[in-house]
Amino acid sequence: MQDEFQTFSTTTGFLVEGGQRRDVVLHLGESGLQVEGGPRILWRKAQVKRDDADQALLIIGKSATVGSTDPGFLREIEGAAGNELDQQLARLDGLPTSWRGSQFLGCIAFFGLIGWGFMSMPGCYRDAVDQTVDSLPYSIDVSLGEQAEATMEVGDTIEDEVVVGAIEEMVERLSDHFQNTDVAAEDVEWQIRVVKSDQVNAFALPGGFITVFTGLIEDAESPDMVAGVIGHEMAHVLQRHGIRRVANEIGLFAGLRLILGDTGGVLGLAGEVMKQAAGNNYSQQNESEADALGTKAMLRSGLDPEALADFFLLLKNKYGDVPSGLAWLSTHPGHDTRVEAIRSIIEGMEQPAPEPLDLDWAEVQSRLEKR
């Protein structure tokens, strides 16, 4: 076996012996590391840890522990160990983001071996899902959204051009003011529909399909409140939260099949996932991100960035903190938490001159009363 060891790189570090550290030369190979004149540690049997005292990176093997305080050591290990240690390395603090890329393969291999075990590795699983989604073309989002929208029964649409036009104007205004999103706003063909329903709600499907319920328009005290909600929904689309959730629910292998172009059966399944939750059941993290991005877009647009926060307060007054009938909010941080987060974002940003939407809000609302 000794002959099989191929050195990838050589570096210096220490060997821990009897509680003492002794400087040694380390030969790093694909299968493990060899201490010059000493023991060998196999990657697949190794544990990676940070030493609490001095932040040294420790590689703990069956027969020995080695390590180094050199920040470059991490990268050396990355180069040599390939995907073997990725999951462990990814969990270390202060990890450079370049690590994330290769973690995907390690994670896939892991699930290939024990596909049923993913519940014990949620962090690894989520990261792998994100990697999968990042490699999917955006056209998948559009196909998925189209499919879900076509088969969802949400109620009758309102065609009144004053009402629909008002929502379209909000989308148009906000669209130019999102920055650094996963999908660029100008690449999204926004499709708006207004649906007759008492729900004080709106939702977005992947690919830019936004549904606004008339209940939201009726209850909103200003057009900016609706725009705030729309900005939040647009952020879900731009950060691909829908397809991320689908990938989480239908599994990575279905996600891989999407990458490989086998979209038919998988899309059907994915469409069901979106439909069941009415495009509303995102994680807290996704919700907070959508609040933040939407708020920033509102502010840059010259609209009232606090309008989304005001809308949460309005809901809270009307329905209590976590209204059970509002799926959009029910699994999410409480209103007060969201309001606080929104306000602290606004405080940290430059405030441009307000540029109100050119809308007669009373007129928009009165159009709905006539129905």
Beta pairing, strands 209-213 & 191-195: parallel
Q: How far is the CB of 371 from Zn ion (least distance, A)?
A: 27
Grouping H, G, I as helix, E, B as strand and the rest as coil, residue 102 is: helix
Report how many residues bind Zn ion under the rule CB under 5 A: 2
Nearer Cβ to Zn ion (51/182): 182
Nearer Cβ to Zn ion (287/306): 287
Q: How far is the CB of 290 from Zn ion (least distance, A)?
A: 5
Q: How far is the CB of 336 from Zn ion (least distance, A)?
A: 17
Nearer Cβ to Zn ion (16/277): 277
Nearer Cβ to Zn ion (254/297): 297
Q: Which residue has the tokens 């952020």?
A: 235
Closest among 223, 218, 159 to 194, alpha carbons compared = 159
Nearer Cβ to Zn ion (224/287): 287
Beta pairing, strands 202-205 & 20-29: unpaired
Nearer Cβ to Zn ion (237/252): 237
Site for Zn ion in 127-146 (CB under 5 A): none
Helices (H) and strands (E) in the chain, counts: 16, 11
Sheet with strand 202-205: strands edge to edge? 157-158, 191-195, 209-213, 202-205
Nearer Cβ to Zn ion (278/368): 278
Contact call for residues 364 and 163 (beta carbons, < 8 A): yes
* Cα(222)–Cα(307) distance, integer angstroms: 8
Site for Zn ion in 282-341 (CB under 5 A): 287, 290
CA-based radius of gyration for the chain: 26
Q: How far is the CB of 209 from Zn ion (least distance, A)?
A: 14
Closest among 155, 124, 95, 108 to 253, alpha carbons compared = 108
Binding pattern for the stretch 249-288 against Zn ion, x by CB under 5 A and - elsewhere:
--------------------------------------x-
Q: How far is the CB of 206 from Zn ion (least distance, A)?
A: 13
Q: How far is the CB of 236 from Zn ion (least distance, A)?
A: 6
* Cα(70)–Cα(68) distance, integer angstroms: 5
Q: How far is the CB of 287 from Zn ion (least distance, A)?
A: 5
Q: Supply φ then ψ for residue 109, to 5 degrees.
A: -60, -40
Binding pattern for the stretch 147-166 against Zn ion, x by CB under 5 A and - elsewhere:
--------------------
**Contact residues for Zn ion, defined by CB under 5 A:** 287, 290
